[in-house]
Amino acid sequence: MTYRTKLLQTGLVIGLYAAVAQASAGAGYLGREFPTFTARDAITGRQFSLNDLRGKVVLVDFWATWCGPCVAELPNVLRAHRKYKDQGFEIVSISLDSNNNRFRSFVRNKGMNWYHVMEGGGWKTRLARKYSVNSIPRMYLLDAEGICISENVRGRKLDGAIQRGLAKMPVAQDGEHTKRGTNRPSNRVGPAVARRLRTQLDDARARVNQTADSLLESADQLDALAEVIDDLDAQLAVPEDSARLKQRFVYLHNELHKIRHTMFMSGLIDDQRTVKLPTSPLEPPSMSDSRAFVKAKQQLEAARAAIDLMKRVDAQVRDELASIGEEIRSLRGDISRGSLSGKALESRVGQVCDQADSFAQRWQNSWQNRLREADGIITAMAQPIKTLSYRLQGLLRRIAAVRDQLSQSPSDAPALKELRDAFGAICNEVRETYDRLQGLGINVGDAPPLPTNPFDGRRLTDRRILAQLDEQIQVADNAVEPALETVAHYKRRLEALTEEAVAMQGELAERLGNERDADDLRPRFSELCRKILALQDQLARPSS
């Protein structure tokens, strides 16, 4: 083989490896027009197309909340958006998340106020397949004509790439294109347009203020309850009027449940972040029981922690509203100063009005949104209950099988060993099942004794073992049957909740499809939420 032939083969191999590497990192579009797509914004619910953003520098960012490098790059992306959004820079994030609640909460908390696509398919999502994205973060920067000018640029390099894209944008002045690289506004809006934009902003501000007022009412209630806890804490040190003390405990319990219920209905808390509260009113301690004082103190601390969590959630939403309000004030100033072009001003006013409208709609109709999620919340609670039910039913069958083996009066060593091992496994599983029940917060009432294996530490030839085994088989039966009844009780409650949620979804869809008012369903959903929260209070979250 000649040197030239070897060189050609080596070049082919290197080229093949390069092609494979490029395919694994996603299709290369550098210098080419980026293929467009149409999708629904995951936050506002509005459909948009990548073509709608022609005329802007656009960052198309494939990411996920569970992706460490994506989250590490986010502060840099946020800085770039704040710095260049008024100059014609926009972001379209395409999430590979599957958990909608986690995704929406993350986006809201981080202030990622741009376009979002989240179709729930993970790596198999439609757009990940379309653009051959096999690793994230994956970023494409497009110029105003939709040409990809940079791929996977991060850190400080992102800033420079955006500046180069903005510098290429033609800026119109008096109907003609002028030199590139200036960000001077193309025109000042006329009085009629200015009045229209101010009216739109005033309407958006009214929606924001209305939502903020309702949140501030909840915040005031939480502050008042925090004072009640401090007062009760002081009274525990020198209890005087036990009747009045009990009344205050009952009041605290009821008000905490009311506020948490309102926040759940409004979508501010969900099953992953449920505020745990006592299922029954806190009892003031007896003067003669020192341990009761310790328990009461612990209950008050738990109530204080619940209030702190609800206040943090409340504050996050109010921060988001404040950000929208600040943007509205800024835009009113831009209208007065004429510091933005008519096109840029119209675009920003439209975006902030959409944000305010989306937020107000989410708040006002949140019970309808929560109804669509209720079935998933119930399913998450039902899964460990169903698993325990199957496990307990299987235990009863295995206990019956051991009883049948014992009825045959086994005498040879192999049969006795088989009997010993089978019942030993049953004893272990009964104990493990009761541990799981305790971990889930399920109380079987007067806990029955658990079975022990009479073979342990004894010779197989000891004839007394079989008589004791008969007694322990009955002990096992007595332990499994009430546990199965208790689990079946919770299973029936969860199935009833599922049926109610599905029925309400069907009725809601029928009402909305016929453009009929569905607000009379709200009390039914409110009652469904109370039942969901009551079960979540009783059932502890299983450890993963």
Q: What is the 3-state secondary structure (H, E, C) of 273-311?
A: CCCCCCCCCCCCCCCCCHHHHHHHHHHHHHHHHHHHHHH
**pLDDT given for residue 11 in this prediction:** 42
| CATH hierarchy code of domain 19-171 | 3.40.30.10
Percentage of the residues of the chain whose pLDDT score is greater than 90: 19
485 falls in which pLDDT band (50, 70, 90)? very high
Q: Tens digit of pLDDT for each residue in 369-420?
A: 677 777 778 888 888 899 999 999 999 999 999 999 999 988 888 999 999 9
Distance, CA of 235 to CA of 238 (rounded, Å): 5
pLDDT-wise least confident of 2-16, 50-64, 155-169:
2-16
Is a pLDDT exceeding 60 seen at residue 4? no
The answer to whether the beta carbons of residues 248 and 231 sit under 8 Å apart is yes
Amino acid at 233: D
180 falls in which pLDDT band (50, 70, 90)? very low
Is a pLDDT exceeding 90 seen at residue 421? yes
**DSSP β-bridge partners for residue 40:** 47
pLDDT-wise least confident of 21-30, 191-200, 453-462:
21-30
**pLDDT given for residue 186 in this prediction:** 44
Q: Tens digit of pLDDT for each residue in 212-252?
A: 766 656 677 788 888 888 888 877 766 666 667 777 778 88
pLDDT-wise least confident of 31-45, 420-434, 490-504:
31-45
Taking residues 244-263, report their average pLDDT. 79
CA-wise closest residue to 369 among 537, 217, 512: 512
**pLDDT given for residue 352 in this prediction:** 81
**DSSP β-bridge partners for residue 176:** 173
**pLDDT given for residue 7 in this prediction:** 33
25 falls in which pLDDT band (50, 70, 90)? very low
Q: Is 109 helix (H, G, I), strand (E, B) or coil?
A: helix
Residue 232 exposure: Cα atoms within 13 Å on the Cβ side: 31
pTM: 0.51
User: What does the block give as tokens for 23?
Assistant: 């395919």
Q: Is 67 helix (H, G, I), strand (E, B) or coil?
A: coil
Q: How far is CA 241 from the centre of its chain?
A: 44
Q: Mean pLDDT score of the chain, rounded to an integer?
A: 79
DSSP-derived secondary structure for 431-459: HHHHHHHHHTT---SSPPPPP--TTTTS-
Distance, CA of 392 to CA of 479 (rounded, Å): 10
Distance, CA of 194 to CA of 329 (rounded, Å): 14
- Burial degree of 149 (CB within 10 A; 0-12, 13-18, 19+): buried
Q: How many CB atoms lie within 10 A of CB 78?
A: 16
Distance, CA of 105 to CA of 433 (rounded, Å): 35
**pLDDT given for residue 374 in this prediction:** 79
Q: Is the dihedral of CA 30, 33, 36, 42 positive or negative?
A: positive
User: What does the block give as tokens for 126?
Assistant: 């439609």
Annotation: CATH topology of 191-364 = f41 fragment of flagellin, N-terminal domain (1.20.1330)
User: What does the block give as tokens for 533?
Assistant: 């929260």
Taking residues 270-281, report their average pLDDT. 64
Q: How many CB atoms lie within 10 A of CB 94?
A: 26
Is a pLDDT exceeding 90 seen at residue 302? no
CA-wise closest residue to 62 among 145, 129, 158: 129
Q: Is 16 helix (H, G, I), strand (E, B) or coil?
A: helix
Taking phi over 0 as left and psi of -120 to 50 as alpha, with beta for the rest, 26 belongs to left
Vertex 382: Cα angle to 522 and 374 (nearest 5): 20
CA-wise closest residue to 166 among 192, 147, 194, 143: 143
Is a pLDDT exceeding 70 seen at residue 438? yes
Domain layout of the chain by residue ranges: 19-171, 191-364, 370-531
